[in-house]
Amino acid sequence: MTLGTIGDTIDAASEIPNVQTAVLSKDLSFQLESGRRFGPIEVAYKTFGELNRDKSNAVFVFPTLTATPQVASETVGGKVFPGWWQNMVGKGKAIDTEKFFVICADHFGGCYGSTGPSSKNPDNGHEFGLNFPGFFIRDMVNVSLLFLKHLGIWKLHAVVGASIGGLLALELVALKKNLAKNALILGASHKVSATYLALNYIARQAIMLDPQWNNGNYYGRGFPEKGLSIARQIGHISYLNHLLLESKFGRAPVNEKFRNHVSLDTQYRIESYLDYQGKKFCKRFDPNSYIYLSKAIDTFDLLREFGSIKNAFRGTGTKFTFITISSDNLFLPQDSMELHKELLGCNVNSSYNEVNSPKGHDGLFLETGELASLVRDSLGN
Amino acid sequence: MTLGTIGDTIDAASEIPNVQTAVLSKDLSFQLESGRRFGPIEVAYKTFGELNRDKSNAVFVFPTLTATPQVASETVGGKVFPGWWQNMVGKGKAIDTEKFFVICADHFGGCYGSTGPSSKNPDNGHEFGLNFPGFFIRDMVNVSLLFLKHLGIWKLHAVVGASIGGLLALELVALKKNLAKNALILGASHKVSATYLALNYIARQAIMLDPQWNNGNYYGRGFPEKGLSIARQIGHISYLNHLLLESKFGRAPVNEKFRNHVSLDTQYRIESYLDYQGKKFCKRFDPNSYIYLSKAIDTFDLLREFGSIKNAFRGTGTKFTFITISSDNLFLPQDSMELHKELLGCNVNSSYNEVNSPKGHDGLFLETGELASLVRDSLGN
């Protein structure tokens, strides 16, 4: 079994060429679910392909928790900028940018150009830090709806999301029942598990324990690299299935001489891998964004918002496609199946597909063959 | 399904009545696997029941990672001291203290009275901290062998261990092939998984990130409570099966009003549970002991020591009983099964039993019926 570049696909570089910025509001006109008014709001985004004349070929892809708007690969000035979902999005790929106008925007609360905790507060010129308002997945989608309006997009051929992107796509359909013709929900469901809540809680504590975090006021002073690195490492453990970790790393030492001693330095390859992933992540992500976005995942709760799954989706014209990875431990396939059945129960068009793969949650970004075929089919290619 | 007191059984209080201390060496006569000489060495222990005339009824129980020598419950001065394995060890229990002389000693490197990182270095009167020597499971067992000799115990009716205790029991049999008549290995095998290495590595980083840890020199100054708490929380996630976490906590908020806001304070019951477990643990465990003992788990490697499993156990007169919990994610049942088959392959007497339970690794301390019957049978009761 070739395991390839575990975790690397999702870890695309943060350098983004030709990113565009949409100014959605210059004042406090946007109201959050909490009741708080907030602004100004900007969204950084990229598009791939061309919008057709009747504006019917737009595919809106929500990023994963830490992904950039660079969803597809691109060559600019002779340099290749890899897309975080290059296996799936691009010319001739399942989400074909020769056919579709693909839009991918940085999250509200993110750190790749959209307004977030690392943005400057216009009131005082300092980064928001923890003064950034708390927000829900619903707030993020409301910002996305303003953004689509800004682009002049009134209908979507599809909304697509994996992991947190799937939560955002679900929320979008629940709020705008006739905006998207298709919804592709990959490795996500209505259920954020107790285990995921626990992992996010532990990850946030690690960030906040780092003295460099300084209650969120680290901009221009330091960077809580150790804390954010631990948070990312906790994430990686949950993205990968334990059998995959075993076959890839086992208990191989970094160096054979390390078999015979006890050291607090990096001793095993799995430790070295975690170090590498943690450090790499620190070059591209804002710790406060991690805190806020992980809270948005935790608080996602369609039952709270709509009273029931049926209330959330009844009457939508959107056709759903659920795709899961059999070994996903973060969002369990059976939870997506449960949601699929709820949708069928209120006469919503829905299909469910499980890809048999040992690659865990990350399989969503590593698998190609069957997964790509399912995505292609769901878009009516 | 009644889930009872998750994690509480294993979390017995550290207050130990009538603990005894064995002084094993007063000088540097003990040589570690690393070649370093170390001493003095003391071991804190408790015994339950009476040693019979021919000294043939001793059962040596290795503690889990953080358990005390108080393996069975006891009432002293009208006060009940709960045993960390009270479901299994005590009068009339599967490991019956009316029949067996049960011995349980604090680990070498522990913090309940045996020599460890929180012990005073006789050279300077200060706690060892990180000056304590690195040690392997093999070193811990060599100390245990000195300890049994000190007690005048030359044969064991059984050596028993769960989790890290199982690793210690395996090592004991490998080093002394005719000391124990029976070996009970619960929720352990020859394989420490890449996932377990990863979890231990992340946990240690969290402890060391706490400014109070102060490079291990916190004695009499402060206590890295936040770091140790995170380490313990990571442990708890791995001890419990995710389905158990889901049914016990789901996404229930601490208070209904918390459903409608975003807070970095404890918002969900799973968070509150983790907080509680983390804080409780800090009252009874030494962070440096956690670092050293988790490293001993990580470096356990019978292949390194003996070249092969068969080399480690061929020729032993010990009869093995492996017991696993079906939902254990920390030590996988199939790994214990693999070891069992290796033993059969070199004509060692071995039996394998899997208890069907949703309680994960902690099921070893929570399950009673079938698990207790298997333990009882394995001792020839």
Note the pLDDT of residue B311: 97
Strands A319-325 and A350-355 turn out to be parallel
Q: What is the pLDDT of residues A8-34, one digit of tens each?
A: 334 444 678 999 999 999 999 999 999
Q: What is the CATH number of the domain that holds A97?
A: 3.40.50.1820
Residue B236 lies in a domain: no
H or E, element range at A137: helix A137-151
Domain limits for position A130: 20-191+301-378
Note the pLDDT of residue A320: 98
| A267: contact with B, CB 8 A cutoff | yes
Contact A375, A89 (CB under 8 A): no
Burial class (CB in 10 A: 0-12, 13-18, 19+), A188: buried
Residue B10 lies in a domain: no
Determine the residue of chain B that is closest to A206 in CA distance: B206
Helix (H, G, I), strand (E, B) or coil at B170: helix
Residue-wise pLDDT tens for chain B (381 aa)?
A: 222 333 333 444 467 899 999 999 999 999 999 999 999 999 999 999 999 999 999 999 999 999 999 999 999 999 999 999 999 999 999 999 999 999 999 999 999 999 999 999 999 999 999 999 999 999 999 999 999 999 999 999 999 999 999 999 999 999 999 999 999 999 999 999 999 999 999 999 999 999 999 999 999 999 999 999 999 999 999 988 888 899 999 999 998 776 667 888 889 999 999 999 999 999 999 999 999 999 999 999 999 999 999 999 999 999 999 999 999 989 999 999 999 999 999 999 999 999 999 999 999 998 889 999 999 999 995
Residue A277 lies in a domain: no
Residue B233 lies in a domain: no
Q: What is the mean pLDDT of residues A165-169?
A: 98
Distance, in angstroms, between B348 CA and closest chain A CA?
26
CA trace torsion B72, B76, B81, B82 (10° rounding): 40
| B190: contact with A, CB 8 A cutoff | no
Q: Say which of B34, B199, B270 has its CB closest to residue A198.
A: B270
| A201: contact with B, CB 8 A cutoff | yes
Which segment of A74-83, A273-282, B6-15, B241-250 scores lowest on mean pLDDT?
Answer: B6-15
CA trace torsion B331, B334, B340, B343 (10° rounding): -100
CB-CB neighbors (< 8 A) of A135 in chain B = 262
Note the pLDDT of residue B302: 95
Residue B55 lies in a domain: yes
The answer to whether residue A263 is catalytic is no
Q: Say which of B130, B209, B329 has its CB closest to residue A227.
A: B209
Note the pLDDT of residue A255: 84
Determine the residue of chain B that is closest to A209 in CA distance: B210
Q: What is the pLDDT of residues A212-271, one digit of tens each?
A: 999 999 999 999 999 999 999 999 999 888 888 999 999 999 987 766 678 888 899 999
Distance, in angstroms, between B54 CA and closest chain A CA?
40
Residues 279-318 of B with CB under 8 A from A: 291, 295-296, 298-299, 301, 304
Structure ipTM over 0.90, yes or no: yes
Largest CA distance in chain B: 68
Distance, in angstroms, between A335 CA and closest chain B CA?
12
Q: What is the pLDDT of residues A299-353, one digit of tens each?
A: 999 999 999 999 999 999 999 999 999 999 899 999 999 999 999 999 999 999 9
Determine the residue of chain B that is closest to A293 in CA distance: B262
Residue B238 lies in a domain: no
Contact B202 A304 (CB under 8 A): no
Structural domains of chain B, count:
1
Contact B206 A209 (CB under 8 A): yes
First to last CA, chain B: 30
Distance, in angstroms, between B295 CA and closest chain A CA?
7
Whole-number Å distance between alpha carbons of A299 and A205: 17
Determine the residue of chain B that is closest to A35 in CA distance: B261
pTM for the full predicted model: 0.94
How confident is the prediction for chain A on average, in pLDDT?
A: 93
The answer to whether residue A163 is catalytic is yes
| A242: contact with B, CB 8 A cutoff | yes
Contact B274 A204 (CB under 8 A): no
Residue A200 lies in a domain: no
Residue A268 lies in a domain: no
For tokens 């009872």, the residue is B4
